[in-house]
A and B are shown apart, each in its own frame.
Chain A
Amino acid sequence: MAGNVKAEDVERVAELAHLKLSPDEAGSMLHDLNAILDYVAQLDELDTSSVVPLAQVSELVGGSGTKPLREDQRKPSLERSAVMAQAPETDQAFFKVPKVIER
């Protein structure tokens, strides 16, 4: 799984990540991604065919651990006006964004 990223991959991944990279940025990204992926390729040496993936450590922590479930209950949330005040553009009730659908 050594680094085999090509310029078109950088372009595709940037699009997935909603990043608009300048040609300079795309060039150094190509170099850095390949360098990092070459380095992480050392993980190939480990045989993990019978290992179950670990997404989260709570099963290792054990003990009384976390409480995944609780009773449903109504309680107040943040004040709407305080939340909307942080947005770049709103009409107080909704967030405003540039037009999505052309007609």
Chain B
Amino acid sequence: MPSETAKPSNLVQKPKTFAELREGILVGRVKAGDIAHSYYDRIEQINSELNIYLSLTKERALAQAAKVDEAASKGDPLGPLAGIPVGIKDVLVVRGAPSTAGSKILKGYQPPYDATAVSRLETAGAVLLGKLNCDEFAMGSSNENSAYGPVRNPVDTERVPGGSSGGSAAAVAANLAVATLGTDTGGSIRQPASFCGVVGVLPTYGRVSRYGLIAFASSLDRIGPFAGNVRDAATLLSVIAGYDASDATSSSTPVGDYAAESDKGAEGLRIGVPEEYFGEGLDPEVREQIEKGIESLRNSGCSVRPISLPHTRSAIPTYYLVATAEASANLARFDGVRYGYRSPSSATLADMYSHSRDEGFGAEVKRRIMLGTYALSAGYYDAYYLKAQKVRRLLGEEFLRAFADVDAIVTPTAPTPAFKLGEKTGDPLAMYLADIYTVTASLAGICGVTVPCGATKAGLPVGMQVLASHMNEGTAFRVARAVEAAQG
């Protein structure tokens, strides 16, 4: 297997930076409308091969681009994302556009409102190209749980793009969008970004409003950006972050200028390397690339020290109890009454519920609803759900202690590079272990960035995860910029 080389791909293409596109629009060299058209042309050419977009919002995109062009021609001020073509993960609602969450149960659903993160993007001038494929209700690590077929990894189409935000990561890797929004509950932004060789951001819990995110596990769900470089991801986060009265868990902590912070360099930062993320199960080629990345941080003037996070091994079991319990409650809303699919063959209300849910949900979603319902049911609540909440506190406090001594923690984002389609679909537990390095930050609520950090001999991307304490996204971006700069 190590001697195998990735199928050479002409599908990978680096998007232009926000600054390049903005400059072109400002001086009148290029029109936002032409940029949007060129993206739709490329989608037309290669989307069928990759299965990234589930639907397009062309009318809305071209109207928005025309607005940007009019403002530019009049010399009016342009928003920070003016004319930037973006894609939206299909678990985020966009008014009047199909929003399926990758599920059959929401086929045809056209929400009557925009998610807060989506409307903030548009207010900043971004052009919404369409909706991106993902695992059903964001449950999966390979995008193979989508009811609309898997996304293929543009680097090697025999391989998965990661999940659950597989479409969001692959879209940036294949330049079918300049940037995208995804969601991360246990690693669903960071792991696919790592598999596809792009930048992905897990903002602190509460940093970005969840209003309009079709809920999976509410105490864990977060919305964050994907981009082709760290600075653009930072710019995008500043646009979508901030308090929103529609999400009671959104934070009123002031939003930073994350792009400017990322410009500060990493010199003098204290970096912790937790031994628990380099143990059994870590692919040796991934380890080698991450160690090179850590060396580049030393060269950038960071001080690097080993640390220990002993509760790491409890994170996957804790995560799958907390996440499935919350999912079983959240997904109770899909009952065939108010929206989505209703089974035609039901004489009674109870039958209508169970038939609609049985026909509408896929296997992994049912598995998680069942596990969560079991863990919350009478007689098992203390042993499973309550126990997991207690271990969650231990994990969170362990990070708080670690961040008393270091500014950032670096780890591999995933234990392996992108695996092959079908490789793990028969074994749910093996699939869950693909999230082994990402669920810890999810449970603790801290922030992080994954940044490309070399590739295997076969050419498969490796990602480094940079974690920082609550609300310290700026620090994570500074470290990620240093790793990125060393990639050359």
Q: Which residues of A contact B (CB under 8 A)?
A: 1, 5, 9-10, 13-14, 16-22, 25, 29, 32-33, 35-37, 39-43, 46, 48, 51-58, 60-68, 70, 78-79, 82-83, 85-89, 95, 97-100
Contacts and interface: CB of A to CB of B under 8 A. Distances in A.
Nearest to B313: A42
B111 interface: yes
Given A18-B357, A40-B317, A56 B219 contact: yes
A68 B245 CA distance: 10
B303 interface: no
B390 A54 contact: yes
Interface in B390-405: 390-394, 396-397, 400
A54 B220 CA distance: 12
Contacts, number: 191
B337 A97 contact: yes
17 contacts: A9-B374, A13-B373, A18-B353, A20-B354, A25-B363, A36-B371, A53-B389, A53-B390, A54-B392, A57-B443, A61-B205, A61-B471, A64-B253, A66-B252, A86-B338, A87-B339, A89-B342
A100 B161 CA distance: 45
A47 to B, nearest CB: 10
Given A63-B471, A86-B339, A57 B205 contact: yes
Interface of B: 109-113, 204-206, 219, 243, 245, 248-253, 311, 313-314, 316-318, 320-321, 328, 332, 335-342, 346-355, 357-358, 361, 363, 366-367, 369-371, 373-374, 377, 383-384, 386-394, 396-397, 400, 428-429, 432, 443-445, 470-471
A34 to B, nearest CB: 11
Contacts of A85: 112
Determine chain B's interface SS by DSSP, over half rule: helix
Contact of B250 (A32, A66, A97): A66
A62 B311 CA distance: 22
A31 B341 CA distance: 29
A36 B443 CA distance: 19
A67 B243 contact: yes
